Amino acid sequence: MPVKPRIGLFDSGIGGLSVLSACLRQNAAAEYFYYGDNERAPYGSRPPHEIMAFTREAFETFDALGVDAAVIACNTATAVCVEEMRRAFSFPVAGVEPAVASAAKHGSNLLVIATPVTAQSARLRALIERFPDVAVTVYPAHGLAAAVEAHFLRGEALDLSRHLPAARGWDGVVLGCTHYALIRSEIAHFLGAPVYDGAEGTARHVFDLIKAGTGNHFQPREKPNNCLSSNCNQKTGQSVFFLGSGRKSNRKLFDLNICFNFI
Q: What are the residues whose beta carbons fall under 8 Å from the beta carbon of 6, sequence distance 6 or more?
A: 30, 31, 33, 65, 66, 67, 68, 220
74 given a catalytic annotation: yes
Q: Residue count of the chain, please give it.
A: 263
> Binders of ligand DGL among 106-145, rule CB under 6 A?
115, 118, 145
The residue within the footprint of ligand DGL, chosen from 41, 187, 228, 253 (CB under 6 A), is 41
The piece of 35-43, 121-129, 157-165, 238-246 that touches ligand DGL (CB under 6 A) is 35-43
> Binders of ligand DGL among 145-174, rule CB under 6 A?
145
> Binders of ligand DGL among 54-73, rule CB under 6 A?
none
Please say which residue, 55 or 178, places its beta carbon nearer to ligand DGL. Answer: 178
Q: What are the residues whose beta carbons fall under 8 Å from the beta carbon of 257, sequence distance 6 or more?
A: 229, 231
Distance, in Å, from the CA atom of 143 to the CA atom of 113, rounded to the nearest integer, reads 12
Please say which residue, 81 or 216, places its beta carbon nearer to ligand DGL. Answer: 81
Q: In what order do the strands lie in the sheet with 227-233?
A: 93-95, 69-72, 6-11, 31-36, 238-243, 227-233
Please say which residue, 140 or 215, places its beta carbon nearer to ligand DGL. Answer: 140
Burial of 6 by CB count in 10 Å (0-12 exposed, 13-18 middle, 19+ buried)? buried
The piece of 37-45, 56-64, 154-162, 187-195 that touches ligand DGL (CB under 6 A) is 37-45
| Catalytic site residue from 74, 81, 227, 232 | 74
Q: How far is the CB of 181 from ligand DGL (least distance, A)?
A: 9
Q: What are the residues whose beta carbons fall under 8 Å from the beta carbon of 2, sequence distance 6 or more?
A: 68, 210, 215
Instruction: Using the CB atoms, write b or e for 177-214: b if 16+ within 10 Å.
Output: bbbbbbbbebbeebbebebbbbbbbbbebbbebbeeee
Q: Which residue type, as a one-letter code, is found at position 118?
A: T
Residue 75 lies near ligand DGL (rule: CB under 6 A): yes
Residue 12 lies near ligand DGL (rule: CB under 6 A): yes
Q: How far is the CB of 146 from ligand DGL (least distance, A)?
A: 7
Q: How far is the CB of 147 from ligand DGL (least distance, A)?
A: 10
Which residues here bind ligand DGL, judged by CB under 6 A?
11-13, 15, 41-44, 74-76, 115, 118, 145, 177-179
Residues with active-site annotation: 74, 177
